[in-house]
Structure 1
Amino acid sequence: MPGLRRTPQVRGIRRPRSLATIALAAAGVLLLSGTCTSTAQDRQDRAAAETVGESGGLSGAAACPGLEGYTCATLTVPLDHSGSTPGRLGLKVAMADNAKAPKGVLLFLTGGPGQPGVPYVKRLSEKLAPVLKDYRLVMIDQRGTGDNALQCPQLQKEMGASDLTPPTARAVTDCAAAIGPSRRFYSTGDTVADLDLLRRALGVRKLTLDGVSYGTYTVERYALAYPQHVARLVLDSVVPQTGYDPMDLAAMRAAPRVLAAACKAIACTTDPAADLAQVVDAYGDGDGDGVDVLDALTTWGFVDPNYAAMIDALHKAAGGDHGPLRGLIAGTRQGNAATAQELSQGLHASTLCLDGRYPWGRSNAPMAGRQEALQKAATELTPADYGPFDAATATGLGSMLSCLHWPRTPAPPLPPDHRRLPGVPVLLLGGDRDLSTPLEWLYDQKKLTPRARVVVVRGAAHSVQSRAASDEGREAVFDFLLRG
């Protein structure tokens, strides 16, 4: 999901977009907060925890290797939370040892979907250090990630950590076949149910949720499903609860705004928005297409929120020299390489196809007619929808094509589109240079958030808590978590 990214290396540089997932994920967050008191609700939760224990609960607790002050364990959860299909999954969990932290548990959720959480505990514990005397940091490898990553070798090779790079139909169908019928159990709703089992196993009554990118979507879905167990929310690089747009239209429309702001910051003498429009219009002659440009542009926000090299390459390409731009596109593709343990494309496709709404419907739509529905959607788009890009870009993105070819799979229920989040304190955090989860999405979510506080960090791109050069966003989070 745009807003699901990761962090491979682009010739020594961190790759974005999907990378954003990792970047996000590395900034993706879910927090649990609250301590147990002797109430009827607590007794009910303890009884529920005993039930969880029948499925395994948290087991195998031991010091996390190479991570002082943290204990690692395995959370056992049912494959199918309805109980209709047998099977269990073991999810790795890392927990700070300050189990009696006064403000309870802070569960930090990574992004993707497809990125694990436990490998990022050290990085995030450093970023969140000012609040970790008051909160107990907990991170989890969500189902289908980390050591239990869904393995789809060809799809992994073709897409790496990206959700924009178009895959082949064969790689998609082979992936779905490798996962098999159990692919229906990897929706965000399944992860949300896992998280509540984790809450019970940890013995906490309420959660403070902090998510980044796709992690924000998971946090929102948790809050909608379990409002009574939520204390406060931090949503960083927001994917709205209504779901991501598989055409990524908001990012396309935001590109001129972002490039203009970046140009002003570096005092460039060109018009990058005009250059972008000219380049996209001229592409299709064998040098690439709008998808390549959008993918590279979105990624470059992770590399440099000022987009300096990208602005220069766009200007040269608009003048007829496409070499520098082709080099940036090739470099971001190369840097997008990622293993399934780093960002599982099998899980990525499983979750997005189950969660998403597409021109042909949801994952349970018949295969026949999907391509025609996508083509019809393309004809209904106007330049006002996609800004400097085109309809072919909007309908040719990697996640869209993955789900176009994803075999028919039962679709899980989704919450009503306009149901508001519970009336708890919520911090909405974003960077004005973010094209992975553009600010427009943050403001869409604000409409559905009764007690929203908005902080926009100028000059920052994706995953503000983890990646921004400025401390403004992190300080806002610390103040929100510690003082309200």
Structure 2
Amino acid sequence: MMRRTLAAVACAALTVTMLQSPVAAAAAADHGPRLSDAKPCDGQPGFTCATLTVPLDHRGRTPGRLELRVAYADNANAKRGVLLALAGGPGQAGLRFDTFKRALAPVLDDHQLVMIDQRGTGVEGALDCPQLQAERGILDYDVPTPAAVRECARSVGSKRQFFATADTVDDLELLRRALGAKKWTIDGISYGTYVASRYAIKHPSRVKKLVLDSVVPHTNLDAFVPEMLHANARVLREACAATGCTTDPAADLAAVVRATDLGPQLLNTISVYGIVDPNYSGLPQMLAAARAGNLAPIQGLIDGVFQATRGPADDHSQGLMLSTLCAEERFPWGNSATPEFLRQPLLDAASRRLAPEKLWPFDQETAKNHGIMHLCLPYPRTAVRPVAQPYKLPPVPALLLAGTRDLSTPVEWARWQLSRTPRGELVVLEGFGHSVQSRTTDDRGRKAVEAFLDRG
């Protein structure tokens, strides 16, 4: 499922009239999808910003169109072709110039970098639900109120069924055609890895290579996220050993979870804290104090992370996250077509069957009550678009990147995905956290990508 960066990245307004570049001429020649209103991107020399118009419903049953913001580098004749960079979320704006230029710097001379605000995201297209945004900001696992979820669903209305990953995949295929690219390379981060994988499943002949950074598995992700819960013990102990702390943060976390009702909040806080500081500095001491009865430091961290991660919908849309996850994920009650009155009993029954040792240092209550579960539990019944769930990815060359201290998309997910990626290779980076290409000054992740893309 799903993922993100903590810092808000501002983009200027980027909609504009098509420049007659070689790729534009190619797209116009076949009268297919086109990029319109193109002009130089404000404050971003060497980039053109344009609009891709797509149908609301790619199956043609419901009228309506969406305008998606696109930015592409002006080196249209780059020798290795187009490199599409996909942001995380679901819900994160995609025109993240500073992030992608830094992450992909070693390969940008040979590739034409392309970015897109996926449907329901960005300055002009974000699904904005003020109450849900206030309660969750840019986070995944904050627990929202049912009222905020229902208000957001009502606000988005019946069109909410058209913001699933499958719809974005169809948008991307129109973008490829508009660019005139026969094939392209796709680099996805966090949820962007899921989008990239789903695109490769549907259009394998259009993908040269995949880079999957901080991997979300392409199928069969357990909504209880047991791998993430259990990974906290490994990661916190590893960080503790590396920084010389003298406590057992995993045992302390387990004791606090069982003595308080803070499990879901701690899951959210620790996963976010690790994005900023993969050493988890100070956290072992806070957990030890909490176990001893002093909850003030850990509660201060929970409150501080909550306040620091409030952000606008145009940076990370919780309305889009709601519409995407709740429309397509499999939950203990099934999916969003399941009647609401059946969901809680099915969730309760499924949580009782969970093996506690596979959740430790968290517990069954945390697995049942984390923010994604309660984002979708009160979500109104909504039509679900069926999509293929193949066991493996197609045989497209793929590089998987994982940091050992990532608790948003743990390395266990990357290893599972590798076993179902026929031409995949995994680079595990010791001591790295989430988004290994962009969130560290250490260039080992970027060098791995450069070497992979330079081959063949």
TM-score (normalizing by structure 2): 0.94
Q: Could you say if the C-alpha distance between residues 127 and 163 of structure 1 is closer, same or farther in structure 2, counting changes exceeding 3 Å?
A: closer
Match of 1:459 in 2: 431
2:419 to 441, 444, 447: 447
Name the aligned partner's letter for residue 389 of structure 1.
F
The 5-angstrom pairing of residues 419-438 of structure 1 reads 420-438=392-410
Separation (CA, whole Å) in 2 of partners of 1:204 and 1:389: 47
In the TM superposition, residue 51 of structure 1 has moved relative to its aligned partner by: 3.1
Q: Does 1:228 align with 2:205?
A: yes
2:279 to 306, 330, 345: 306
Contact 1:460–1:470, Cα closer than 8 Å, also in 2: no
Contact 1:49–1:200, Cα closer than 8 Å, also in 2: no
Match of 1:154 in 2: 131
Separation (CA, whole Å) in 2 of partners of 1:159 and 1:344: 10
Name the aligned partner's letter for residue 32 of structure 2.
T
1:374 to 347, 358, 366: 347
Match of 2:16 in 1: none
Q: 2:437 is paired with a residue of what secondary structure?
A: helix
Name the aligned partner's letter for residue 6 of structure 1.
T
Separation (CA, whole Å) in 1 of partners of 2:350 and 2:4: 26
Separation (CA, whole Å) in 1 of partners of 2:435 and 2:377: 29
Q: 1:6 is paired with a residue of what secondary structure?
A: coil
Q: Deviations over 1:245-287 (max 9, x none)?
A: 3222111110110011101111111111111111111113xxx
The 5-angstrom pairing of residues 22-421 of structure 1 reads 50-52=31-33, 57-118=34-95, 120-146=96-122, 147-284=124-261, 289-418=262-391, 420-421=392-393
Q: 1:50 is paired with a residue of what secondary structure?
A: coil
Contact 2:239–2:278, Cα closer than 8 Å, also in 1: yes
Separation (CA, whole Å) in 2 of partners of 1:397 and 1:260: 23
In the TM superposition, residue 455 of structure 1 has moved relative to its aligned partner by: 0.4
Match of 1:31 in 2: none
In the TM superposition, residue 121 of structure 1 has moved relative to its aligned partner by: 1.4
Separation (CA, whole Å) in 2 of partners of 1:144 and 1:127: 24
Contact 1:209–1:219, Cα closer than 8 Å, also in 2: yes
Match of 2:19 in 1: none
TM-score (normalizing by structure 1): 0.89
In the TM superposition, residue 243 of structure 1 has moved relative to its aligned partner by: 5.0
Q: 1:209 is paired with a residue of what secondary structure?
A: strand
Separation (CA, whole Å) in 1 of partners of 2:53 and 2:5: 26
Q: 1:465 is paired with a residue of what secondary structure?
A: coil
In the TM superposition, residue 47 of structure 1 has moved relative to its aligned partner by: 8.9
Contact 2:239–2:279, Cα closer than 8 Å, also in 1: yes
Separation (CA, whole Å) in 2 of partners of 1:221 and 1:402: 23
Higher relative contact order (CA 8 A, sep 6+): 1
Separation (CA, whole Å) in 2 of partners of 1:258 and 1:220: 26
Q: Could you say if the C-alpha distance between residues 331 and 243 of structure 1 is closer, same or farther in structure 2, counting changes exceeding 3 Å?
A: farther
Aligned residues: 442
Q: Name the % identity.
A: 51
Separation (CA, whole Å) in 1 of partners of 2:276 and 2:193: 22
Q: Deviations over 1:68-95 (max 9, x none)?
A: 0000000000000011111110000000
Q: Does 1:480 align with 2:452?
A: yes
Q: Deviations over 1:425-472 (max 9, x none)?
A: 110100000000001100111111011111011110100001134211
Match of 1:13 in 2: none
In the TM superposition, residue 416 of structure 1 has moved relative to its aligned partner by: 2.1
Gaps of 5+ in 2: 10-21
Q: Deviations over 1:223-244 (max 9, x none)?
A: 0000110111100000000154
Separation (CA, whole Å) in 2 of partners of 1:8 and 1:454: 27
Name the aligned partner's letter for residue 109 of structure 1.
L
C-alpha RMSD of matched pairs (Å): 1.8
Separation (CA, whole Å) in 2 of partners of 1:201 and 1:125: 22
Separation (CA, whole Å) in 2 of partners of 1:247 and 1:482: 39
In the TM superposition, residue 408 of structure 1 has moved relative to its aligned partner by: 0.6
Separation (CA, whole Å) in 1 of partners of 2:146 and 2:436: 35
Name the aligned partner's letter for residue 383 of structure 2.
P
Separation (CA, whole Å) in 2 of partners of 1:451 and 1:238: 16
In the TM superposition, residue 319 of structure 1 has moved relative to its aligned partner by: 1.7
Name the aligned partner's letter for residue 62 of structure 1.
K
Q: 1:453 is paired with a residue of what secondary structure?
A: strand
Separation (CA, whole Å) in 2 of partners of 1:49 and 1:142: 24
Contact 2:6–2:138, Cα closer than 8 Å, also in 1: yes
Separation (CA, whole Å) in 2 of partners of 1:417 and 1:201: 28
In the TM superposition, residue 182 of structure 1 has moved relative to its aligned partner by: 0.3
Q: Deviations over 1:72-119 (max 9, x none)?
A: 00000000001111111000000000001111111100010001111x
Separation (CA, whole Å) in 2 of partners of 1:281 and 1:238: 30
Q: Could you say if the C-alpha distance between residues 318 and 423 of structure 1 is closer, same or farther in structure 2, counting changes exceeding 3 Å?
A: same
In the TM superposition, residue 316 of structure 1 has moved relative to its aligned partner by: 1.2
